[in-house]
Structure 1
Amino acid sequence: MTEQEVLNILPFIFPLYTALISGLLLQRLCNKGESQLEKRSIQMAIWAYISAIFAWLSIVFYIVIPQLFVVFNAPVMWIFMGYNILYYRFVFDLTKTHESEKFSILHFAIPTLIALVLFVWSFFIPFDVQLQLVESRGEPSRDYPYYSALFTSKPLLFVLFHVVYTVFCLLRVIRFRRVVVNYSADEERTSLRWLYQILFVMLGSLPAALGFMLLTKQQLTSFPINIFLALVFMFKDVMLVHNILLDNFVVISSDTSEKEIQTPPTDRELPEQINREDVHRLEIYMSNNRPYLNPKLKITEIAQALNTNRSSLSALINGTYGMNFCRFVNRYRLDELDRLKSHPNNTSLSELELVAKAGFSDWRGYQRVKSREEEFNLKQQ
């Protein structure tokens, strides 16, 4: 291998190595998941990393060993489409709101069908013709124009699946955010800001993916362009594994009393559901037990202590206080923070330490809660 070839493939080795290390780290973490759903989410992330590893390897083969690329042409075709579906499957499991939600295996039907067609068709095409398609940077064969179109359609299919499944991911996260505020009071972990950032980076990488169809082979193997492409995907991979390792997400698990989180009750339903005795019990429990000091507090923990289910408790909070569970708990934390600040024993503590003692998971979560409350109070004036 020449020095120029090493330089050409070097940018693709970096994200390959990142995906490999990330997958190995998640594999060690997988068995430590708190629930089966959490384990399955991590497993899907691992499979996404595995597909990324083979995708980067295929690009290395394309540049350095075109004969090997031709041999694995059909699996590579599947990976370029399936990677996006595997990533969506991870987001799907991470944002499930009830057990009845099932991921349809039909998502893999189109990639599998296209890869099978390419695989079978390749037996009827001379190997030299296929090799020429790689070495000529996708210049179609006059004798096999339709096969050439399918053979060289990987970047286009990748972009198409990339856009469609990134949009699917965004819709899942937006829907999940509307539900999780009635389940968890951890502002930072329920925000999934990091997942939004990853999805926008994925959309931002589309120009780089489109470049594969527009650039010449010399431009394709230019070091600056490949470094940019590698950095985009390395950022995504590192961001994903970093937040999974930090447990920076909330998985909604089912419980024995209820199979799913329901939407907040309508105004006509509230009068019948509000029970003043239940409200009194809730307020006494919050004052005496102070569960809000737990940064990872979930509604199921309070529901279990009050011998009720999370849907009824969520309806009670929505109807009585006109807010979701997350805001309800965070207001207690803000009051606790004010109390801690005024206590003489806490004068030596920093504001960051007081924020942690009040039950907030981190400073950013506290700042978001504080800003929203200030904004709400201004509107009320």
Structure 2
Amino acid sequence: MLADLNEDERALKQGLDAFAEGRLRSHIKPFVDRHEFPVDLVREFAALGYMGAAYDPGHDGGGLGVRGAAVVAETLAAVEPGFAAIYLCNSAPMTAIARFGSDALKRRWLGPLCRGEIIASFGVTETHGGSDVAGVKTRAVADGDDWVLSGSKVFSTNAGTELHGLSTVVAVTDPELGPKGLSTFLVAVGTPGFHVGKANRKIGWRIAPSAELFFDECRVPNSAMIGGRGEGLKQILTTLSLGRILVAAAALGLSRKALALARDYGATRRIGGQPIFAHQGLTFPLADAMTHIHAAELMVRNAAVLADAGRPFRLETSMAKLFASEMAGEIADLAVQVHGGYGVYDEYEVSGLLGEAKVLQIVEGTSEVQRLIIARELAS
């Protein structure tokens, strides 16, 4: 961990370590094995105030900004990446409300989300669109003082869980305007016409269910719109960019976990009568992994500092997300290799890390999307 954490961030890290290394590490494995949402552990985590660590204290948040949120994501992922996923996927709708929502929406939703009374899901991606946010097909049609939503979303993490209370949904309000015709809405669970589909099992984020959202003439009031009409694309792109910092932080935590598992197992393993770490073929890659982890930490921290300072951060965020998530896959692969044949057995914790790392390379924009963003910056 970097030496420049301020007093509040150090206190946050200390409390998180106590939860993650104590409660989470000792209780999470059965949930991972069953691909089951750990509702009581999430409630306990939320009751400690960590869900709202980044947000305005006026809405019961911790006021620690993106820097604080990155500390939370990294610390959780170093124990269980799926628990970090629950946190960061809840943070995306919270960020949209905090940055773009009216005072009324903040009073109605941000406080309960910060206190962990409910959690939220993000409804952006559609079956045909993938990373193309501008290709959204879900429609919102004005009807008096209401909007009527019709369409569906996929990969909405946290949806359908016992704590799920709200989804943010981006929809087309003005189709003739193309990408400028998107708007964002808050839809409460239980709203007529809003249904959550069945969650499917995944190779990563196994305790963080991802489901399809369905809107069948779902009526919401005009006050449920976040910000102004036609501002949806800007809102979602900003929210995704901020989310990439947390994904990068989670990848950093996962990489630390993989390196620790490789180190601990390798310290006890012998080949030809010699400790496995007597062979440079393994010690050098582990040295590279440690170096890359340090570089990723600097990149995550820099992107978070820029975001909190209100400075441009999109390029730095994409570079951090690309580097950290690709690194996580490489170090997870190395950790499995160190374990040899045992690395592919379920009872060894390392076996699940490749799937967890792969999810991080896809969510909030694939590695290819991040390279496209970076390349466009080079050409500008």
TM-score by length of 2: 0.29
More RCO (CA 8 Å, sep 6+): 1
* Higher strand fraction (1 or 2): 2
* Higher helix fraction (1 or 2): 1
Task: Compare CA radii of gyration and give the structure with the larger one.
Answer: 1
TM-score by length of 1: 0.29
